[in-house]
Structure 1
Amino acid sequence: MDQLKTRYRIDGMDCGGCAAKIETAVRRCDGVAQVAVSVAGHSMVVEHDAKTDLASLMKRVKGLGYGITPAGSSDPAPDNDGDARSASEPDKGHGAPGHVHDHAEPTQRPWWKTTKARLMLASGAAFVAALLVSQIAPGLGQWPFTAAMLIGLIPVGRRALMAALSGTPFSIEMLMTIAAIGAVFLGASEEGAAVVALFLVGELLEGVAAGKARASIQALTKLIPKTAFIEKGDGVVEVPAETLAVGDVILVRPGDRIPADGVIVSSGGSVDEAPVTGESTPVHKAPGDPVFAGTVNADAALHVRVTATAADNTIARVVKLVEEAQESKAPTQRFIDRFSTFYTPAVVLVAAAVAIVQPLVFGGEWQVWIYKGLAILLIGCPCALVISTPAAIAASLSAGARRGLLLKGGAVLESLGRITLAAFDKTGTLTEGRPQVTDILAFIGSETDVLRDAAALETGSSHPLATAILARAAADQITLPKVTDAAAIAGKGVTGTIDGAEVFLGSAGAAGAQVSLSPEQASRIRALNSQGKSVSVLLRGGAVLGAIAMRDEPRPDALSGLAKLKAMGVRTVMLTGDNAQTAQAIGQTLGIEVRAGLLPQDKQAIIREYQAQGFKVAKVGDGINDAPALAAAEVGIAMGGGTDVALETAGAAVLHGRVADVAAMIALSRRTMGNIGQNITIALGLKAVFLVTTVMGITGLWPAILADTGATVLVTMNAMRLLQAPKD
């Protein structure tokens, strides 16, 4: 029988514990084969047979206290890792079996309009009213507080019962229910009511914090304009941005946001990339340069050819990647989850022992020790402990994504902090990936004359060296003369006639075969070659007019980025397939160790060599020819540009190609792990203190719930600090 797949939208989830309860409950429904719940995506996908009672399934989830609505129709589950859809169903996401995201923007409500807020406010108001009634009519005794407690406890108790029936007997709600009911029987209804109200406050704050982390990354989607101006024929038509197709040419007016990923096709101008990349100053864009959706056209009308649809643009992929990453648990989080599985039952046993052993064995007073046992139940609630790691990781992943630092899950984030050696590719990683004119030698006339004639000969060529010469001529605003009889000489250069004179541009060897280079000219060319530069010699009328040197230059921030890594105690090395002379020249400029002339398998072997020496290695490359080395390293980091390779090949991606962002990634990891350590210390430290004071009889139910709720609030607030990334 074919399996069906049904997607649901789930509201009210704040952490992995919520997801675990829902998964456990849904798996117990008849006919359910697979369940996957995404906290970040507010979604659940269920694979089931045709006989499954979906109404009963939804009732179970609602019984646990979560909102659930169908997000799509049932359709056959795929046999592979793809996502099967009916022809009439729009593509809402992507994923593997049991892992589908609905990337439509979730409905955001102010916190005070949520169900949790209404329940918390009702319980708090009832507790205040009970305090007033007890002062006005003290003869009523504990009844006003019992009534106030029930307002909050009934929904919590119902969730506890549903969780127990669905396979999660030791839930936080169950501990709270037992403690509150026990307080009533011990004549401490006032404390029971306060405990329930404070518990609901803690739940609300946890939800607000989780929503803040989600909103931080979802806010990126709001950067993309709703409409775009597409060029059709001789006119321009305004269309919805989501309808743009690859290949469309759009007009972006000065001051407008760019509605799609694309490349400049004519003219150029400055683009403010700060909303997406964090660049502090506008970046000049020339024809052929890429632009990202959501960035702002600063000063000139741009014509952009669309390279990605709305579902696949840079921002959409970033949001998808971060949501998926938040579902990938770090080793620390997996340990905490396993620990809490045993921790909560252990707390129940300890509380029971405290309540029973002393009266039975040593003749202690039952009411006193049962009260202490109930307090220990509250102290033992694992809320703060469970949320300590995922809250920090979610905040860090969101903060990183807003800076173009994409990390595929908590495991990668945790591993980055332990990196002690960063191995960089050269071309396109430490360097721009395209040659630039570095020197112009004029042996006759001026440098402008040399550049003008060379650019004229190269007009129309797409060769990287030709592109570099043409870009320099355009930057210098040189008017190019007309060339006749232009021709390419295979393996040698290009020739043509300019102003009636025959002109040739080619390698020094090819030029030397036509005319004799003077010792001074040859010496200056050799000096440029020794710096790893390619030199083209220009001949005009049989004389050496000059020469142009080109090299793939380091990225503007490469030197400072490597310096930051070294300051953090991370050793750096360049692994490149380029020739030793060129690589050494770049390495000397950047002050980095160089190993050159390497094949992909050589790079992988060197990574293994460093690991054998005890280094924790990050491999930074373009994600294509570096694939073996990226896979071998503890963390593979792809230098981006927004390409699919950069986002999918490695464990992490520097979306905007800044070398300094590798150091920023490692710094973010170290801050995150420090934050997690602080959170765990807060969570367990407060519990330890109040456990001792409770057993000693110093504190009771009120301080016990404050210890739990207070720890949850402190842990959450501490984790949210990571949303504010430090300035570079």
Structure 2
Amino acid sequence: MSDHQVKLSEQEMKAYRVQGFTCTNCAGIFENNVKELPGVQDAKVNFGASKVYVKGTTTIEELEKAGAFENLKIRDEKEQRVEREPFWRQKENIKVYISAILLVISWFLGERYGEEHLLPTIGYAASIIIGGYSLFIKGLKNLIRLNFDMNTLMTIAILGAAVIGEWGEGATVVILFAISEALERYSMDKARQSIESLMDIAPKEALIRRGNEEMTVHVDDIQVGDIMIVKPGQKLAMDGVVIKGTSTLNQAAITGESVPVTKTLNDEVFAGTLNDEGLLEVEVTKRVEDITLSKIIHLVEEAQAERAPSQAFVDKFAKYYTPAIVIIALLIAVVPPLLFGGDWSQWIYEGLAVLVVGCPCALVVSTPVSIVTAIGNAAKNGVLIKGGIHLEEAGALKAIAFDKTGTLTKGVPAVTDIVTYGGNENELMTLTAAIEKGSQHPLASAIIRKAEENGLNFNSVTVEEFQSITGKGVKAKVNNDIYYVGSPSLFEELHGTISDDKKQKITQMQTQGKTVMVLGMEKEILLFIAVADEMRETSKEVINQLNNLGIKTVMLTGDNQKTAIAIGKQVGVSDIKADLLPEDKLNSIKELRGKYQSVAMVGDGVNDAPALAASTVGVAMGGAGTDTALETADIALMSDDLDKLPYTIKLSRKALVIIKQNISFSLAIKLVALLLVIPGWLTLWIAIFADMGATLLVTLNSLRLLKLKE
């Protein structure tokens, strides 16, 4: 099934939020249970985002029945998040307290009357039943189906301990297992909170004016074209365009930019951003399900569901690993007594301990927790990573190619130098702007902007006989004099030659990556104006950081070699490729992949789409407001800036390191515990601590990814 088909089918499916998932295994069981419900044609669980998609008809009560084995709570996707009870007061944890109290009382009774006495045995049995009944139900059901998961392994081990008279240890194992499950639930919730907090960014109501009436309307009922009134200190509830007022908006929630941005007439604004000082009137442009914030949340949730390569490996490994552990445990329990005259009771006990140690909890949870946490952290910092696979690939990057215009530079030409040869600078600039007003050339707009900035009244100048000289410039009559504005080559044609000092000045400005425009008459040159595409303030620093991370940086541009080299040197990239057509960019990416294997392409997501698709990781600039960037790229930088790129690489690398640490640690701790079987030192206590300790450490290790800041 293609991604597109999955998206389509998910749109037809109804989404519900699920509370209480602890492990991927439980999510799988829940998915199968939902599929078996009457009226349900298909179901798909997204563990990372804690959601279930259902095709067909069903009710929340039915779904909760399907999730009763794990005490799952279901709510409609659109429903407000209910405040959770504090962790220590949750119903699932109360049975652990009762069970623990019974265990302590039984232990004291055992000290007083001896372990074999009936009273401590009853106490231990009660503790096992209260703390482990839900575990046994799951375990026994699985045992009947010959489905060996951790519940099955724990059930066999605990019942086995009771059979051979180790009631105390059986009860302790139940409690330690229940504690480990509760802590796992807590840490998974913590990892998911980064997404849940995104959902709470935008208000659920807004002040809307329809006709002459102002009213508070729920976001679901706001229509495109409604006028939203946003007072200072309020958050925007919807995306739209400013139709009245000027203010600064803090867009950190969407783009990760900490510096507030000024917004005025016709500027685009986003839901979830905070209005700092002015009163704004905003015309709503999107329905609530289409706003940028909704898209971000949807993409992040999809990303967390996508399996990363290391997770696919772990899941496959666990599939063969669990039955192997059951066989090893059986051999340990049976072979020494049968062949070497060992004590049955001792070796059955060792076999049970191996079952407990063999629980693949830590291993199975090692990757998803890291991925959910890293993607959630990135989203809060204004970076959208669209899947675990892209997170892992970004961590392995060897080279990054940058489009120049609009990526390393602002993409808007600006006047950088004005050199006069006779006459007043302001007068000559007024004259040039008046002539260029009739031109469509992008460089003309730079000259007009400069004249406006300097407050020059060029609109009052009368321009006659305006004429375009194709590819070279323009010609016009002002106050009965003929003036030319154009490239140096136009004046070489007019004047024959340009004096050496002027030629030198032109060459000097061109080698700095600037384009030179000339104002002159039939016989003389009056003014040079140098125009350049401005470098983004952060580009140099970002390239420097990437070079320090050991990543090869390459600039791809359609500009001429001279300009490209000037800008490339200024920004500090390690390689420059100039004079490229869009298909040449695509070939450059293929070449780089041949050389470095793992290559990212950073572009603005529109004209760079083929190159973004050909790279290992496509990174789009300015995800906020551009649907193309969100759709085509693997990673979208929500702010129109590069400064989040080094953070993304560091986060991805750290996630890769943590995933490797988690897998290695989970396997190492099990191996050490299994080796204790040889001298017969492995106890149920050590086994459960090894399993619980590994799971907890793996989860806490993954949560370190929440701490990574820019």
Q: Which TM-score bucket, shorter chain as reference?
A: 0.7 to 0.9
Q: Percent identity?
A: 38
The change in CA–CA distance for 1:720 and 1:445 in structure 2 (over 3 A counts) is farther
Relative distance call for 1:291 and 1:535 in structure 2 (3 A) is farther
Mapped to 2, the partners of 1:423 and 1:219 lie a distance apart of 34
Distance 1:27 1:300, change over 3 A: closer
The correspondence of residues 126-145 of structure 1 with structure 2, limited to 5 A, is: 126-134=102-110, 139=117, 140-145=119-124
In the alignment, which of 569, 580, 587 is matched to residue 605 of structure 1?
587
Partner of 1:627: 609
Secondary structure of the corresponding residue to residue 64 of structure 1: helix
Contact 1:252 1:304 in 2 (8 A): yes
1:549-572 Cα distance to aligned partner (Å, 9 max, x none): 322222211111111111111111
- 1:31-180 to structure 2, matched below 5 A, reads 33-47=41-55, 58=63, 61-67=66-72, 69=74, 71=76, 102=77, 106-109=81-84, 110-134=86-110, 139=117, 140-164=119-143, 169-180=147-158
| Contact 2:131–2:175 (CA under 8 A) maintained in structure 1 | yes
- Partners of 1:269 and 1:562 lie apart in 2 by 33
Shift of 1:544: 6.2
1:189 matched to 2:171? The reply is: no
Aligned position for 2:563: 582
Match among 11, 15, 27 for residue 19 of structure 1: 27
1:437 aligns to what SS in structure 2?
strand
Q: Return the alpha-carbon distance in structure 1 between the equivalents of residues 681 and 522 of structure 2.
A: 101
Alpha-carbon spacing, 1:530–1:55, altered in 2? closer, same or farther (3 Å): closer
Task: Give the 5 Å matches for 1:271-420.
Answer: 271-285=249-263, 290-302=268-280, 304=282, 306-420=284-398
Report deviation, 1:515. Answer: 8.5
* Residues in 2 aligned to 1:649 and 1:450: alpha-carbon distance in whole angstroms: 46
Secondary structure at the counterpart of residue 564 of structure 2: helix
CA contact (8 A) 1:262 1:307 kept: yes
2:617 counterpart of 1:638: no
Shift of 1:298: 3.6
Structure 2 stretches lacking a partner, 5+ long: 1-8
Question: Distance between the aligned counterparts of 1:605 and 1:10, measured in 2?
Answer: 46
Which shows bigger deviation, 423-432 or 458-467?
458-467
Q: Say yes or no: does 1:671 pair with 2:654.
A: yes
Question: 1:59 and 1:226 mapped to 2: Cα distance?
Answer: 27
Distance in 1 (alpha carbons) for counterparts of 2:95 and 2:253: 38
Matches for 1:452-531 after TM superposition, within 5 Å: 464-465=442-443, 467-469=445-447, 471-472=449-450, 478=455, 480=457, 482-483=459-460, 485=462, 489-490=467-468, 492=473, 506-508=485-487, 512=491, 519=499, 524-525=505-506, 527-531=508-512
Q: For residues 404 and 168 of structure 1, do their structure 2 counterparts lie closer, same or farther at Cα, with a shift above 3 Å needed?
A: farther
Greater alpha carbon shift after TM alignment, 263-272 vs 639-648: 263-272
| Cα separation, partners in 2 of 1:697 and 1:234, compared to 1, 3 Å | same
C-alpha distance 239-509 of structure 1, shift in aligned 2 (>3 A):
farther
Q: CA deviation at 1:502?
A: 8.0
Is the Cα contact below 8 Å between 1:21 and 1:168 reproduced in 2? no
Partner secondary structure for residue 141 of structure 1: helix
Q: How does the TM-score come out when normalised to structure 2?
A: 0.86
Describe the SS at the equivalent of 1:223. coil
Give the conservation status (yes or no) of the 8 Å contact 2:433–2:458: no
Aligned length: 688
**Counterparts in 2 of 1:388 and 1:433: CA distance versus 1, 3 Å:** same
- The residue type equivalent to 1:417 in the other structure is G
* Contact 2:604-2:622 at 8 Å conserved across structures: yes
CA spacing shift, 1:676–1:70, aligned 2, 3 Å? closer
CA contact (8 A) 1:574 1:594 kept: yes
The alpha-carbon distance between structure 1 residues 157 and 521, as it changes in their structure 2 partners (threshold 3 A), is same
Tell me, in whole angstroms, the C-alpha distance in 2 between the residues paired with 1:438 and 1:242: 49
- Bigger Cα displacement from structure 2, 592-601 vs 272-281: 272-281
Q: Distance in 1 between matches of 2:39 and 2:563?
A: 64
- Which runs of no fewer than 5 residues in structure 1 stay unpaired? 72-101
CA gap of 1:441–1:568, structure 2 versus 1, over 3 A, is: same
Q: Contact 1:503 / 1:538 at 8 angstroms: preserved in 2?
A: no
Q: CA RMSD in A?
A: 3.7
Q: Which letter maps to 1:673? A: L
The answer to whether the 8 A contact 2:304-2:372 is kept is yes
TM-score w.r.t. structure 1 length? Answer: 0.84
Query: Which whole-Å deviations, capped at 9, do the CAs of 1:50-104 have from their partners, x for residues lacking one?
Result: 8xx9899747623432426474xxxxxxxxxxxxxxxxxxxxxxxxxxxxxx465
Q: Which moved more, 1:462-471 or 1:174-183?
A: 462-471
